[in-house]
Amino acid sequence: MCLHSTPAKPGQKTPDPRYPARFFCVTSECLQSTNQALSVACDAFGLPAVMVTPQGYGAQPLSSPQSGDFLYRASTCTASRQLEQALWQPGVIGFYDDDFFEFPYQEEMTVNSPVSLQGPFQLTGPPPVLVQDFEHARAYRLIIVGNRLIAAGVLSLGRGHGGSSNFVQADPPREAIYLALRAMQAARIEVAAAEVLEDKDGKLALVELEFPCNFLELQHCSQTKIADAMVAYLVRKRCVGVPKIEPKPSPSRPNTTRTTCLV
């Protein structure tokens, strides 16, 4: 298996092809199932999985990712984001655009926190919220890695509350995939879970782009090894690089569906 890297950029260390890559995951103890799924996927590729938590980091000496290692953050808490930033260095490979590892979400915005927008004006107080009514008939959840749809499901009402029992495997409209890819391209991320609503007339609305994403519910209902696909993507990125996300409109239903982004 190839685990060497593409040529480094100016000023960036060149990973040693003899150096075994490691998969670092910034996580938390409450994500045991996610940690297990990622560890099993790493084992399939012969990669050591290093699970790091904000609470455990610093309590014991741990090696940090080096150029050529993989880094993924499974936890969404602020402390995990800060630890991810502390662990990252040039040459570390993650699910961000190679030229964009500046962590756009450095501060958590909450209703009780002041908001400061840099620019010609300043806004303080709760973040503004734009609301649009959208009466949907179907709710799709898509897991996309790179520029490929890995798994998809549709919300099945009346099958419980939360968890994988609420989703059944489904084939989403191609326009929904296109809309999710456009949003990922704008966010400059390479893995995400997209929530797309469809009304009775076929109009689509993207209401959420989730990164890091909870992939377990669709992994269970679709029997798709999503964690394996994520690790495989990083391995390929380290070996030969990956093409940029360039979504193209589907020719199947041209000009028949108007898409709306609500995020």
Q: What's the whole-model pTM score?
A: 0.73
Q: Which three-class secondary structure string do you get for 168-233?
A: EECCCCHHHHHHHHHHHHHHCECEEEEEEEECCCCCEEEEEEECCCCCHHHHHHHCCCHHHHHHHH
* pLDDT given for residue 125 in this prediction: 59
In a domain, 133, yes or no: no
Beta carbons of 74 and 26 less than 8 angstroms apart: yes
For the chain, the domain total comes to 1
In a domain, 186, yes or no: yes
In a domain, 167, yes or no: yes
In a domain, 75, yes or no: no
d(CA 25, CA 52): 6
Host domain of residue 149: 138-224+245-261
* pLDDT given for residue 97 in this prediction: 77
* pLDDT given for residue 257 in this prediction: 40
Question: Which mean pLDDT values do the consecutive 10-residue runs of the chain (263 residues) have?
Answer: 42 50 93 95 93 78 82 92 89 79 42 37 57 74 93 71 64 93 91 91 89 88 91 90 56 42 41
| Angle at CA of residue 151, ends 146 and 258, nearest 5° | 80
Beta carbons of 145 and 234 less than 8 angstroms apart: no
In a domain, 181, yes or no: yes
State whether residue 30 is helix, strand or coil. Answer: helix
Task: Please report, in angstroms and rounded to a whole number, the separation of the first and last CA atoms in the chain.
Answer: 39
Per-position DSSP letters for 8-21, written without gaps between them: PPTTSPPPPTTSPP
CATH number reported for the structural domain that contains residue 162 in this entry: 3.30.470.20
In a domain, 172, yes or no: yes
| Angle at CA of residue 56, ends 50 and 62, nearest 5° | 50
In a domain, 77, yes or no: no
In a domain, 192, yes or no: yes
